[in-house]
Amino acid sequence: MKGVLFDYGGVLAEEGFREGLYAIARKNGLDPEWLFLRASGAIYETGYITGRATEADYWETMRRETGICGTDEELTGEILPRFILRPVMIDAVRQLRRKRYIVAIASDQVDWLERLDERDHFYGEFDRVFNSYRLGKGKRDATFFDDVADALMLAPGELLFLDDNAEHVERAASKGLHAMVVRKAGDATEELMNLPERPGISL
């Protein structure tokens, strides 16, 4: 193993997208799980997740299709504060870097990730950030993992991928990555801490 890839929401941070949408659903008298699933579909269907649409396009689609109320700012304001970094995961990232592993974010996110970094300053903890919004490709496309491995100049089998989405984990594994589902913050930390120190490498 030479590198570790971390999903953002649900691994490095609490899952603000889901929790924020649950809050929006409750405010609008809607079923939270239904709204979350509709919103998850729409973020791909509109192209927002891959940088082909804007935040305004996304929320306009959501208001039209689900009947939710609120300005773009109000709706996004229910989501971003709920992305809370998990200190135990950031500590794990730092220890991996001290052991000379390449560490990167590999996330299906939009430009919100950059706004979250402006708030929390976590990009500097990583060697690379792979955000679907900037790549023009998300983890529903298994070639996402080929692209990340190529960019890091590593073989897929030299990478460990951590995600809270089992389907993403399956796609990563199908491409030859070691892949692990993370359900809560402590799920992966023991395994990460047990990785041996590596000789010096550089990108």
pLDDT, one tens digit per residue, over 27-45 is 999 999 999 999 999 999 9
Task: Tell me which residue of 31, 34, 79 sits closest to 55, measured CA to CA.
Answer: 79
- Cα separation of 51 and 53, whole Å? 6
Class of residue 179 by CB neighbours under 10 A (exposed 0-12, middle 13-18, buried 19+): buried
Average pLDDT of span 178-185: 89
Which tokens in the block code for residue 11?
């691994």
Per-residue pLDDT of 183-195, as tens digits, reads: 877 778 878 888 8
Per-residue pLDDT of 64-102, as tens digits, reads: 999 999 999 999 999 999 999 999 999 999 999 999 999
Average pLDDT of span 152-173: 97
Return the percentage of the chain with pLDDT > 70, whole number: 98
- Cα separation of 161 and 114, whole Å? 21
Q: How confident is the model at residue 203 (pLDDT cuts 50, 70, 90)?
A: very low
Alpha carbon dihedral 168, 173, 176, 182, in 10-degree steps, equals 80
Return the percentage of the chain with pLDDT > 90, whole number: 90
Average pLDDT of span 100-122: 98
The answer to whether 77 and 144 are in contact (CB under 8 A) is: no
pLDDT at 80: 98
Contacts of 24 (CB under 8 A, 6+ apart): 35, 68, 70, 75, 78
Give the long-range contacts of residues 192-196, CB within 8 A, separation 24 or more: 192/4, 192/92, 192/95, 192/96, 193/92, 193/95, 195/1, 195/4, 195/96, 195/99, 195/101, 196/99
pTM of the model: 0.94
Fold held by 3-14+84-193: Rossmann fold (3.40.50)
